[in-house]
Amino acid sequence: MNNLILVNKNNRLEKNYIPSGLIEISDFVEGDIVDYKLKINYNAYEHFLEMQKDALKFGHQIFINSAYRSYEEQCNTLCHFIKKIGYEEAMKRVAEPLTSEHQTGLAIDFAILESVEESQKHYVKGEDMWDHEASIWVYENCHKYGFILRYPKGKVGYTGQVPEPWHIRYVGVIDATVMKEKNITLEEYYNIKNIKHNKMKSEIPVIGIVGRVVKTSDNYDVISTGEYYRKCVVRNNASVVTIQPPQDLIYNSYTPKEVPRLKNSEKAILDAQLSRLDGIILPGGSKWYEFDEYVCSYALEHNIPLLGICLGMQTISYVDNLKNGHPKYKTYHNEESDIDHYQIGPEYVHQVKLKNSPLRDLLKQDIIMVNSRHSYNIGEVTHEFKTYGYSTDGIPEYIYNGKNAFGVQWHPELMAEYDLNNKKLIEDFVNKCRG
């Protein structure tokens, strides 16, 4: 999901819009405020928990009052306030359905626990929050956890919304920090990012290639970028950077399952790298880690052009299937195939039959010849991606999500040296990165 999604009166959502990454929460939500399970984006939730924990160190007890609301729930909320405070006042205070940030799952209305008397909990809510010491602490520190005060005083001309002291919005640590330093709203930041982004797109695109964990002949552990990946990008007048993993460990000392899960601070390090890229390549290799999955998810959520090659395509497939509720995803060995899919030497190994797709339109061919260097295949993708190319033994070879991301099971970076089809494939991908 795009953490910077802009929702306001001029940028409406669809009625059936349901954001990805929603989870139900109930462990810290106080029953005096709500009496049902809330939903919220899992990443926003994790960061709020951190902020809630740190606020308590200073004697401030903050809790979630409201989070995700569907279109129907926003309609009900508006109707409730119309009955309570009248139509004109409600229309000032409550966002119209389709214009509410709550439908993104990234917005939180928080409240402050002031006191408990005879088991009765007293909360500070509404306009009284502006000058409360707990609110002031939140406003001064929420950027450290990826949140902004979404509707501050003096910014109605930008937001179109009356100031709300309770409404914070998750955008990510990097972006929230910039907005805090510049004292700007999401609308202002959105315009700044678009201006810079368009300027960058008119120049040389910067394409990140996920670094692979390897050991040299001298037994040194390194994070490397294959030369053929680099060559095929720079040949098309683009810049290459290696996307480095963020954890303080030697990856070759662990199997992927043994590597500790990414911390929020480590995800922020990745965000700092990825937010500057115009395109991302997940290259081939022998194993992937959680940081590969995070890079893949980030590209998909931010609609950054993404190309997965061999193992990279398998990573995309894993992430895609996971989003559709298939956590036990696995790859399949090619041993039952009548094609030897792992051949280092030959320039061409087998055919790929293309279905109606952008790649077929680009190459203007139904069947192409490819090399093959993999021992495993993905089975089928199940969520946003669909398979549009198969080898003659039925193994998926080309997947696409209908937007800016695709994966191929062969190695076009090698074939671009001698094959016109794969030269076009790489050239087309780099052009997409130009915007």
DSSP E strand stretches across 104-154: 107-117, 120-124, 147-151
Q: 132 exposed, middle or buried (CB, 10 Å; 0-12, 13-18, 19+)?
A: middle
**What predicted TM-score, i.e. pTM, was given to this entire model?**
0.61
**How, if at all, do strands 279-282 and 367-370 pair?**
unpaired
pLDDT at 324: 72
Range among 20-24, 42-46, 426-430 with highest mean pLDDT value: 426-430
CB 67 within 8 A of CB 106: no
pLDDT at 203: 66
Could you tell me the pLDDT band of residue 85, with boundaries at 50, 70 and 90?
Answer: confident
* Alpha-carbon separation of residue 138 from 31, 104, 338, 362, 407 (angstroms): 22, 21, 62, 51, 42
* Planar angle of CA 18, 379, 350, nearest 5 degrees: 130
pLDDT at 315: 94
pLDDT digits (tens, 9 = 90+) for 142-156: 999 999 999 999 998
Contacting residues for 260 by C-beta, under 8 A, at least 6 apart: 247, 249
The residues annotated as belonging to the active site are 164
Q: Per-residue pLDDT averaged across 158-177, rounded?
A: 92
Nearest to 146 by CA among 17, 264, 25, 240: 264
Q: Per-residue pLDDT averaged across 62-87, rounded?
A: 88
3-state secondary structure of 69: coil
DSSP 8-state code for residue 246: -
3-state secondary structure of 65: strand
pLDDT digits (tens, 9 = 90+) for 237-258: 999 999 999 999 998 888 888 9
Could you tell me the pLDDT band of residue 327, with boundaries at 50, 70 and 90?
Answer: low
Q: Per-residue pLDDT averaged across 334-347, rounded?
A: 87
Backbone angles phi, psi at 25, to 5 degrees: -135, 150
Instruction: Give CA–CA dist 276/302, Å, rounded.
Output: 12
Could you tell me the pLDDT band of residue 294, with boundaries at 50, 70 and 90?
Answer: very high
3-state secondary structure of 1: coil
pLDDT at 202: 43
Q: Which amino acid would we find at residue 413?
A: E
DSSP H helical ranges for 243-375: 264-274, 290-301, 311-323, 358-363
Of 7 and 301, the structure prediction assigns the larger pLDDT to 7
Could you tell me the pLDDT band of residue 30, with boundaries at 50, 70 and 90?
Answer: low
Range among 225-234, 269-278, 380-389 with highest mean pLDDT value: 225-234
Instruction: Give CA–CA dist 302/296, Å, rounded.
Output: 10
pLDDT at 197: 46
Q: Would you give the end-to-end CA distance of the chain in angstroms?
A: 20
Nearest to 64 by CA among 80, 81, 45, 83: 45
Residue 199: pLDDT over 80? no
Q: 214 exposed, middle or buried (CB, 10 Å; 0-12, 13-18, 19+)?
A: middle
pLDDT digits (tens, 9 = 90+) for 379-416: 778 788 999 999 999 999 999 999 899 999 999 999 99
Mean per-residue pLDDT over the chain, rounded: 89
Residue 53: pLDDT over 50? yes
Nearest to 209 by CA among 224, 219, 220: 224
pLDDT at 36: 57
pLDDT at 225: 94
Backbone angles phi, psi at 148, to 5 degrees: -130, 155
